Structure 1
Amino acid sequence: MRNGLMMRTMGQGGRLLMALALAVAGAALSGCGGGGILGGSSDSSSSPSISSRFSELFGSKSQAVGETPPPPAENELSCPPVTIRAGASTFAVGVPGKEAVGNDLRYQASITRTARDCTRNGGQITARIGILGRVIAGPAGAPPTVEVPLRVAVVQGGVQEKTITTKVFRTTVTMNDQGSVPFSLVAEDVVYPVPSGSTGDAYIFYIGFDPQALKPEPAPRAARKKK
């Protein structure tokens, strides 16, 4: 009875905020459970194409965010771990001119699961980085489609990190009436030189959202005509 009274006294904005919080919690839990590639059976049944593609590409070589990847099998090429760059784990967009918080939040994207594999070709390593995530509509309402920008970087860790290569990838997500949609992206052309000696043990695949990648590049300045 008390819960029913609370729900009746909440406004529309409060109900939407509660739905958003529950959806975020559900997405996080789906990455930690067993079963399908997305963790829970609900995600697998609602988006079979996403889970099937990841299963075909990576098999069991995936892990929930924060989970330690399994060690390489005997005679298998060691592949750097995937880590989400600090400060780039979520991508929130608000109403134009407003901060993406509270009732001004239009949508938020987060990463729930990752995968990777590596292949050596001569003096180069070709890696595939798989990213699973979810876009959740906020109280202000999400647009029909959302463009999600992600950056993948190969970094040599240490006291002074060294970026070996970095690239931006984008994927477009079509929202639904439920306001919670999974997305996937596979960066299949991450290529870098084979590290020497034990240097490769310090390599990391950093991933994260990169909102700057959605901004148009400045137009080149016109050359001044000589008088």
Structure 2
Amino acid sequence: MVLKDSRFFTGIALAGFMIAVAGCQSGDNTIAGVGDDATKAPEGKILASELRAYCPSVTLREGTAFFNTYAKGGDGDASKIVYQAAITDVTRSCARADGMLTMNVAVAGKVVPGPAGVAGNVTMPIRIAVVRGDEVLYSQLHQHQVAAGAQSTQWVFSDPNVVIPDSSERDIQIFAGYDEGPPKKKAEE
């Protein structure tokens, strides 16, 4: 008889616990002071609608993922390479406010010393461009410096100031890469 009574009381205690927990899980989200703010994300949090929103991807244009620095007078000579730089990854994040799309475009890579390598700073010309068809919405050339030494050096660059008008169309492209500008003209003799 004692065994039956202990099971009965255990069952009653378990049922009471389940009812108490179910009461805490009720569907009423109205808590004093919260009201309609329940649909807003807490500070620093991202809403699901923001995660599903369109954020253009970043692409490397052909020929813009590598950059070589040569010793003076050694342009094009592999034995005169001071540093070789390569972009190894690109990404972005997007935020929308007041009809504008603000993007933080990030580029990562590495610098490897060449045969003529010496310790020092390497200045890499990194261009971030945003286009819609033939229309350039944003284009900025950055001179990113990396302290390089005898070993390969990893680096990260970001441009958090890419701001363009927001659009419901998914026709925007972001390009990142090295931009050395037009080829240097050789002096005529």
- Report what 1:176 is aligned to: 149
1:73-113 deviations in Å (ceiling 9; x for gaps)? 65532111100122211111112122234211111111111
The one-letter amino acid of 2:150's match is D
What does residue 81 of structure 1 align with?
A: 57
Q: Does residue 187 of the first structure (1) align with residue 159 of the second (2)?
A: yes
Q: How does 1:88-99 map to 2 (within 5 A)?
A: 88-99=64-75
Q: Distance in 2 between matches of 1:101 and 1:89?
A: 19
Question: Is the 2:120–2:147 Cα contact (8 Å) retained in structure 1?
Answer: yes
Measured against aligned partners, the alpha-carbon deviations of 1:118-146 in whole angstroms (never above 9, x if no partner) come to 11111111100011100111101144111
Map 1:126-145 to 2 at 5 A: 126-145=102-121
- For the residues of structure 1 that align with 2:175 and 2:131, how far apart are their CA atoms? 7
Could you say which residue in structure 2 is the equivalent of 1:209? 178
Amino acid at match of 1:182: Q
Structure 1 residue 148 displacement after superposition: 1.5
2:139 aligned residue: 166
SS of 2:141's partner is strand
Question: Structure 2 length normalisation: TM-score?
Answer: 0.65
Identity within the alignment, %: 30
* CA-CA distance at 1:211 after TM superposition: 2.1
User: What per-residue deviation string (whole Å, max 9, x for no partner) do you get for residues 41-79 of structure 1?
Assistant: xxxxxxxxxxxxxxxxxxxxxxxxxxxxxxxx6553211
Is the Cα–Cα contact under 8 Å of residues 118 and 127 in structure 1 kept in the other structure? yes
Shift of 1:212: 3.3
CA spacing shift, 1:74–1:124, aligned 2, 3 Å: closer
1:175-221 Cα distance to aligned partner (Å, 9 max, x none): 1232x1011101000111112x42xx1211101112239x9xxxxxx
Which structure is larger by alpha-carbon Rg, 1 or 2? 2
Q: Please, what is the CA RMSD of the aligned residues? A: 2.0
Give the secondary-structure state (helix, strand or coil) at the position aligned to 2:181: helix
TM-score, normalising length from structure 1?
Answer: 0.55
Q: CA distance change for structure 1 residues 194 and 184 in 2, over 3 Å: closer, same or farther?
A: same
